[in-house]
Amino acid sequence: MMWLTIIKESLRHWYLYLLSLIVCGLIGLLYYVFTAPSYSVSATLMVRTTEANSRSSQDELLRMMGYGGEKITGDEIEVLSSRYLMEQVIRRLDILTLTEARSFRFWQTQYPNPDLTVSYDSLPDQGVMILVRLARAGYKIKVKTGYFESSSAFVSSLDEPIATHIGTIHLTAHRPLKARKYRLTTSTMPYCVSGWCRKIHISRIAKESKGIRLTTTSRSPQLSTDVLAALIETYNLQASEDKNLVADNTARFIDARLASVTHSLDSVEAAIQDYRTRYHISDLDKAADLYMRTNAQYDQMERDIATQLDVLDFIRAFVSDTANSRSLIPANLGIQDGTLNELIRTYNDRVLDFLSLARSATPDNPIYIRRQQEVYTLRTNIATSVDNVRSALMIRRNNLRSSGSAYSDRLESVPEQQRGYLELLRQQKMIEQRYLYLSQKQEENSLLQSSYALPARTIDPAQADPRPVSPRLSRIALAVLFFGLAIPFLLLALMCFLRDPEFRAWRDLEISR
């Protein structure tokens, strides 16, 4: 019965529904006209993984199981979301201060070429909002900080310095002012970084995909487009710098070793020349050739071992020096021990992760402490592995020398001068071998540095959707229809309920009690 009564009342008072629809329609129209449109801005990038020839068997196994790409993408999302990276973007674009002009309908952000800018004698330590209003004989200036602190001033020209409660400010008009009101908002760096980090949503395109999508909604599509583009570019630059650390350290090590080997080679060549002159040795090519052919295999193996020992001594001194606790160990040095190579690669990866974490984490962070302990443990393991490999190489070199002594006995009849000369030639060959080896590694490292690609490839550059996401006319129409029908229906339902006999009887009973 109640529902039939409500329906009858609705038919009798149909004009209430019409009036409600008209009022809600006018409210929706005003909202649509006087609300600034917001646009969706998005960008898509693809994370490049490590080259196939440098993947470890564990990384390859994780990738085949479907976890490798997800872990890499998740780590890169954390880097893109970091406050440190966003702070670099804000400093690069210089968007701590934004200018808005008041149109008839709403405030519009002027970017990247505002009509009006502000400069401070001393940078404020809190957010500042400056309202500029054009008057007949000049400009009315109001400066607000916080909720209650403000100051006002009137100037006839914007060229004049303006004294406020936060100090002297200077307004600069870059072109004739067309709007009647301007609003300049200066945010502190922490507040601005937090605001942009909340606005930008970074997510994976699919669960096992290496694609990352960055989206944000803004009333200034050009500003948001520039922020997303600068964020991707800054991420690529910093990631490239991290990846080049290993190659740079390797290049410095090779250059230093080449200088030392070149000096040694010059010294032994000078000693050979002096030896020839002192003992009048003119032709020992046949004897030297016979000796070298006999000992070629053993000498080659001993030179390889000497080179390996030289590299191991450098790595041992490098990891023992506390000054290198956060430095990368040079890679691509031709170490033949697979276990040691894997330890060095794992150590460099951990150091890069630790350096990346150190930009945004404090030393008392549990993750920071755990990563630092991992780096220290890996350095200890590398030192132990270097000692083990070096001991094995020393034993092998001693065995080679014992085997080669049998060939040296054949030269007992050679004069002392000839044997000394051959020893100098042997040293020359060994040093030349090191020089050629280091030169080859220097060229390989140079090619590696020049072939580094950007860590992330942009699939879709930052771009704003031409259609605004709000206010949407269709949504406003649905809201107008809903509230225009719901409000009179609820009012009529309440009236019918209050006039219902059962409700009146209950109310009278309650009053009589």
pLDDT at 1 over 60: no
Q: How far apart are CA 136 and CA 453, in angstroms?
A: 59
Window from 50-64, 142-156, 267-281, 404-418 with minimum mean pLDDT? 50-64
491-503 mean pLDDT? 72
Selection from 192, 50, 42, 39 nearest residue 108 by Cα = 39
Per-domain boundaries in the chain:
1-35+472-497, 97-186, 245-458
Q: How far apart are CA 176 and CA 483, in angstroms?
A: 45
pLDDT at 60 over 50: no
Q: How confident is the model at residue 322 (pLDDT cuts 50, 70, 90)?
A: confident
pLDDT at 117 over 90: yes
- What pLDDT is stored for residue 79 in this prediction? 85
- What pLDDT is stored for residue 344 in this prediction? 85
Tokens of 395: 């034993």
Going through 338-480 in order, the beta strands assigned E by DSSP cover: 456-464
Q: How confident is the model at residue 151 (pLDDT cuts 50, 70, 90)?
A: very high
Q: Which residue has the tokens 């020359």?
A: 428
pLDDT at 265 over 80: yes
Helix axes 221-279, 338-358, angle to 10 degrees: 140
Q: Classify residue 376 by burial, with Cβ atoms within 10 Å: 0-12, 13-18, 19+.
A: exposed
**How many C-alpha atoms does 334 have within 13 Å on its Cβ side?**
18
CA-based angle 70:455:204, to the nearest 5? 30
pLDDT at 114 over 90: yes
Window from 96-110, 324-338, 445-459, 499-513 with minimum mean pLDDT? 499-513
- What pLDDT is stored for residue 286 in this prediction? 57
pLDDT at 296 over 50: yes
Tokens of 25: 């329609």
| Cis before 488? omega within 30 | no
- What pLDDT is stored for residue 307 in this prediction? 83
- What pLDDT is stored for residue 228 in this prediction? 94
Chain mean position to CA 434: 39
Selection from 47, 68, 48 nearest residue 57 by Cα = 68
59-75 mean pLDDT? 50
227-245 mean pLDDT? 83
